[in-house]
Amino acid sequence: MKQNLLLFTGFSILIMFAPQLLSGGYLMNVLVFVGINTMLAIALNLLLGYAGQISLGHAGFFGLGAYLSGILTTAYRFNPWVAMPVAAVVVGCMAGMIGFPILKLKGHYLAMATLGLGIIIFIVFNETVELTGGPSGLSGIPNLQLAGISFDSDVKNYYLIWGFTLAVMLFSLNLANSRIGRALRAVHDSEVAAQVLGVNARLLKVQIFAMSAVISSLAGSLYAHTMTFISPASFGFNFSIELLTMVVIGGLGSVYGSFLGAALLTLLPEILRGANDYDIIIYGGLLIVMVMFMPGGLVRGIPALYRKVIKQKGETGHA
């Protein structure tokens, strides 16, 4: 437990001083998105990695948060700080209600149902033109403000987003190590066994689904207020898959894994931009290699690789 706290404190300090170490500019902007994606990956990981329930529709919850915040602040002149929790509560209740029937399904069927949910939400964004602005998007969303500071630059947004991300991380780490976390893992391994041990598996699944949706919605609101423009294209099926990839590449059932996955998938296209038209091939190839050789994700694969290298060095040293 103490070790966990030490790790988190270290990580937080690293995040807080990163802007001083890195030369600002465009990288700051990318790191803002790493933060948002980390939040989303953690949300999905709680569901997929801990409770073992897949969702291919999480971009939908992310979009709902963004659109609710966007519409409430532009059309109804809500204060962004009010719109954000309102959006989160609405999305949470919705996810809870949908969760009850949907989470009865298992495996491929659950994947199909959540996929459908994501696509329906996407279609609603596109078709309700009067409300959402339709495919050409919703603009003029205000920036967040706190004590006279308007979060309108990349560096300010970096601290805003990472403040929230670190809070979500801390919350998730605590949740994972609590009774609920253990119950979730029990449901993950065997629902029947968990129920026999007195875990209300069905309710627990719905609760974690709603919790996951709330975190996604929060990320969506923050996205809307930092970008100040949203359009349905950012919340489509592709993004749901990208989130899933972040979670799997990073490491299922690990909060830091979600960060690694989100960081890698957000930064990789930037690094590969130099490769011009071949970037997509290299990107795809790297993902395949990683899944093949690090089936446990980066969070387990990197230490294993490190140990291997150390061991080899040791052997050659003796020879």
Partner 1 sequence: MNFKVISFVTAAATLLLSATVFAAAPIKIGALFAVTGPAAFLGEPERNSAKMVIDEINKAGGVKGRKLELIVYDTAGDATKAVQLATKLIKDDKVVAIIGPSTTGETMAAIPVAEKEHIPLISCSAGSKITDPVKKWVFKTAQNDALAVGRIYEYLQKTKQTKVSILTVSDGFGASGREQLKSQASKYGITVVSDDTYGPKDTDMTAQLTKIRGSHSQAIICWGTNPGPAVVAKNVRQLGIKTPLFMSHGVSSKKFIELAGEAAEGIRLPSGKVVVADLLSGSDKQKKSLLAFVKDYQKHYKAEGDHFGGHAWDAVMLIRNAVENGADTAAAIRDQLEKTKAFAGIGGSFTYTPQDHAGLGKDAFVLVEVKNKDWVIVK
Q: Contact residues for partner 1 (CB under 8 A)?
A: 24-26, 29-30, 33, 126-127, 129, 134-137, 139, 152, 154, 227-231, 233-234, 273, 280
Shortest distance (Å) from residue 232 CB to partner 1 = 8
Q: What six digits make up the tokens of 279?
A: 């970037």
Q: Is 249 exposed, middle or buried (0-12, 13-18, 19+ CB in 10 A)?
A: buried
Give 157: exposed, middle or buried? Use CB within 10 Å, 0-12, 13-18, 19+. Answer: buried
CA distance 250 to 47: 15
Q: Which CB sits closer to partner 1, 36 or 46? A: 36
Opening angle at CA 242, ends 177 and 184, nearest 5: 25
CB 116, min distance to partner 1, A: 15
Contact yes or no for 110/51 (Cβ under 8 A): no
Q: Which residues pair with 11 in a beta bridge?
A: none
C-alpha 2/C-alpha 8 separation (Å) is 10
What is the Cα–Cα distance from 75 to 191, expressed in whole angstroms? 45
Torsion sign across C-alpha atoms 314, 315, 318, 319: negative
Q: Which is nearer to partner 1, 201 or 222 (CB)?
A: 222
Rounded (5°) CA angle 11-16-17? 100
Q: How many CA atoms lie within 13 A of 230 on its CB side?
A: 30
Pairing of strands 138-139, 229-230: antiparallel
Q: Is 297 exposed, middle or buried (0-12, 13-18, 19+ CB in 10 A)?
A: buried
DSSP state, 136? Answer: G
- Which of 108, 35, 59 is closest to 231 using CA atoms? 59
Q: Tell me the torsion sign for CA atoms 262, 265, 270, 271.
A: positive
Query: Residue for token digits 């040791």?
Result: 314
